Chains A and B, each alone.
Chain A
Amino acid sequence: MSSSQIMDKDTVRRAVMRIAHEILEKNKGTKDLCIIGIRTRGVFLAERINECIKQIEGSLLPTGILDITLYRDDLTMISAQPIVHETKIDFEITDKKIILVDDVLFTGRTIRAALDALVDFGRPAGIQLAVLIDRGHRELPIRADFVGKNIPTSLNQNVKVILSESDQKEDQVIVLEGKHV
């Protein structure tokens, strides 16, 4: 199976820093902002964006972890139940501006599930979406507010984000040929 590298360690770092800047620019600072990562890699990206925001503004945003398994729209169609991990949002989200973070935006179904999950925790003033990669092929009317890199792909390709925290390898983004990895 062939694969090609789209981003390396440095381009990932710069993209994360730029997203942090864009978030602060769009929201005119950190007032009422909080950041929630979608398991697994969205959590690490959220932490990295938060670190960048701290470098720029001097303070960290409240951070949360969201597991969307129970909100998936295909739960009754798959043969064995996926493992459920803990959701951890220790702050009140009502009237807050939430930055939702994931690694790859594809069909949009994960984000749909995440939006449903978030409104069970309260009524935020707004939700903005930040992703490292947008690979297209949306099946739902969802778009990202902050994108690290747009990668045009075919449906026969798979985009893999590798992060040092989750994969014990140097950061990179690769495109693999073939649907199933």
Chain B
Amino acid sequence: MIWTKHDLIDTKDLSKEEIELILETAKSFKEVSTRDVKKVPALRGKTIVTLFCEPSTRTRASFELAAKRLSADTLSLSPSTSSLSKGESVLDMARNIEALNVDAIIVRHQTAGTPDLLAKHLNSSVINAGDGCRGHPTQALLDMFTIKERLGKVEGLKVGIVGDILHSRVARSNIYALTKLGAKVTVCGPATLMPIGIESLGVNVTYQLSDVIKESDVIMLLRLQLERQKDKFLPSIKEYAIKFGINRAKLKGAKKEVVIMHPGPVNRGVELSADVADGEYSVILDQVTNGVAVRMAVLYLLLGTKEK
């Protein structure tokens, strides 16, 4: 198959074949990060900008390392140190960045749809690194990669996504990717944090964590997005931890080979107890390692296409 996409906005826009090509390419790139010289010249001379209007450590570091390991030059911008703080719109700013002859803009923004807006107006490749509650495609792709690495496949697996589904872009991008690859997805969380009509994405809904633990091959925990919760969604964090947090005792009812995932940052003692987060079922750090390989694959493929 030949890659033709110029931007990466969400996993919703990717075909099954495109997802598989990214995962296959990432497999080859993973080896690069284990070398003494962790660098290949594939994107030499390209310039990649990260424009992050929301806090991030993992995603930003991961994208920057991915770009650097492909020999691209990187420039990182944040609102507090840029003219966004003087009231410039994000589109104006992106246009100005593009006037500096950059090849790709990696954007994270609190407003869903910002990457679409930029992609529509810019010739540079636009990569969504998280927009509001909408999508976070590279997180979903690295989750697919990690599941495949651990269990050999995604097709036919039962995957439970637990937590704040309403505010989670990771959940949404993962639901698209997982269902395209043939996994059976069940979402679980408090009714107040369950979006209405989520079944239309082809997932089952349950409000009982024990159902998910009993049946799932993979359990993805989501962070409670307290910064997005302006209203009261929960009686208390403690109650949430008791009903929807996972600890070793609850995992007794799980499958033997169950895989525990979390996109990070983990609220220890809320979504996951420390002994599970650091335990043998957890692949949280593998997810971080694989993130670089997957983002290298995405950058390599996107920056190879010439025209929009």
Contact = CB atoms under 8 A, between A and B. Distances in A.
A78 B39 CA distance: 21
B40 A120 contact: yes
B4 A80 contact: yes
A29 interface: no
Contacts of A120: 35-37, 39-40
A93 to B, nearest CB: 10
A79 interface: yes
A80 B1 CA distance: 10
B41 A116 contact: yes
Nearest to A86: B28
A116 B42 CA distance: 12
Interface stretch (A40-48, A69-77, A124-132, A147-155): A69-77
A121 B29 contact: no
A84 B41 contact: no
B265 interface: no
B306 A70 contact: no
Contacts of B31: 86-88
Contacts of A75: 42, 304
A156 interface: no
Contacts of A84: 25, 28-29, 297, 300
Contacts of A121: 35-37
Given A71-B41, A116-B41, A79 B28 contact: no
B24 interface: yes
Contacts of B297: 84
Contacts of B41: 70-71, 116
A81 interface: yes
A96 to B, nearest CB: 14
A70 B31 CA distance: 13
Interface in B18-64: 21, 24-25, 27-29, 31-32, 35-37, 39-42, 45
B40 to A, nearest CB: 4
A181 interface: no
A67 interface: yes
Contact of B3 (A69, A81, A88, A117): A81
Contacts of A79: 304-306
Contacts of A80: 2-4, 304-305
Secondary structure type dominating chain A contacts: loop
Contact of B40 (A70, A78, A85): A70
B301 interface: yes
B28 A85 contact: yes
A84 B28 CA distance: 6
A1 interface: no
Nearest to A67: B28
Nearest to B29: A84
A81 B27 CA distance: 16
Interface string A51-62: 000000000000
Most buried by B among A76, A84, A121: A84
Contacts of B27: 86
A120 B71 CA distance: 13
Nearest to B297: A84
B28 A81 contact: no
A178 interface: no
Contact of A76 (B24, B35, B45): B45
Contacts of A71: 40-42
A81 B306 contact: no
Contact of B25 (A78, A83, A87, A117): A83
Nearest to B46: A76
Contacts of B70: 70
Nearest to B302: A81
25 contacts: A70-B32, A70-B40, A70-B300, A71-B41, A71-B42, A75-B42, A76-B45, A78-B304, A79-B304, A79-B305, A80-B304, A84-B29, A84-B297, A85-B28, A86-B31, A87-B28, A87-B31, A88-B31, A117-B40, A120-B36, A120-B37, A120-B39, A121-B35, A121-B36, A122-B36
Interface of B: 2-4, 21, 24-25, 27-29, 31-32, 35-37, 39-42, 45, 70, 297, 300-301, 304-306
Interface of A: 67, 69-71, 75-76, 78-81, 83-88, 116-117, 120-122
When A and B form their complex, which 10 residue pairs have the shortest distance between CB atoms, in order from nearest? A81-B304, A70-B40, A70-B42, A120-B37, A84-B28, A86-B28, A80-B2, A84-B25, A85-B28, A81-B301
